A and B are shown apart, each in its own frame.
Chain A
Amino acid sequence: KNEVEQSPQNLTAQEGEFITINCSYSVGISALHWLQQHPGGGIVSLFMLSSGKKKHGRLIATINIQEKHSSLHITASHPRDSAVYICAVQGQFYFGTGTSLTVIP
């Protein structure tokens, strides 16, 4: 049983497209994190959410605590957005398996 489920597992998009990655979780949480992992492995924290919506540049993250669901949106996608995006909850003890995004020029 996975406490955190992400969809889709893999995603290929054309440059400029609007992208949505989904995360559903089954545990009670006080915060949800979105992480980015580039080829070569480094992991960086993108967002930390406990309610509502946050925006950073072309990235937008939303969370619905009642529905136990979060989404990460990328507007005007670019090849440099190609990476694995990981959802994590409960102090980052539980991680999703990641969504591998490839943006084609």
Chain B
Amino acid sequence: NAGVTQTPKFQVLKTGQSMTLQCAQDMNHEYMSWYRQDPGMGLRLIHYSVGAGITDQGEVPNGYNVSRSTTEDFPLRLLSAAPSQTSVYFCASSYDGGPNQPQHFGDGTRLSIL
């Protein structure tokens, strides 16, 4: 069982560059989400999706775009990287996003913006 797969695991970018963090799940989950984790702060929700073709903003969406063309994939795009986006990014999925559903997390992407 692959679960939630994130790529890449590590990435270094220069300010102004763009890139896409990939996330795929093989559990047929409707709900997928992206979080960032910064020192001294809890995980913060960037964007989420309740199904293919549907996305919405979370707590910290600025500077990020998402799309959900298939149930399996939920890529996160950084349009013009800034040092403030240096963080560890986690993708997660759950059956339907209900508060009683456990979330399955990817292993994270450690991103540094120089």
Contact = CB atoms under 8 A, between A and B. Distances in A.
Nearest to B105: A43
Interface string A79-95: 00000001010111111
B105 A44 contact: yes
Contact of A31 (B35, B100, B105, B110): B100
Contacts of B58: 93
Contacts of B102: 33, 45, 48
* Residues of A contacting B: mostly: loop
Interface residues of A, number: 26
Given A42-B105, A42-B108, A97 B99 contact: no
B102 to A, nearest CB: 4
Nearest to A93: B45
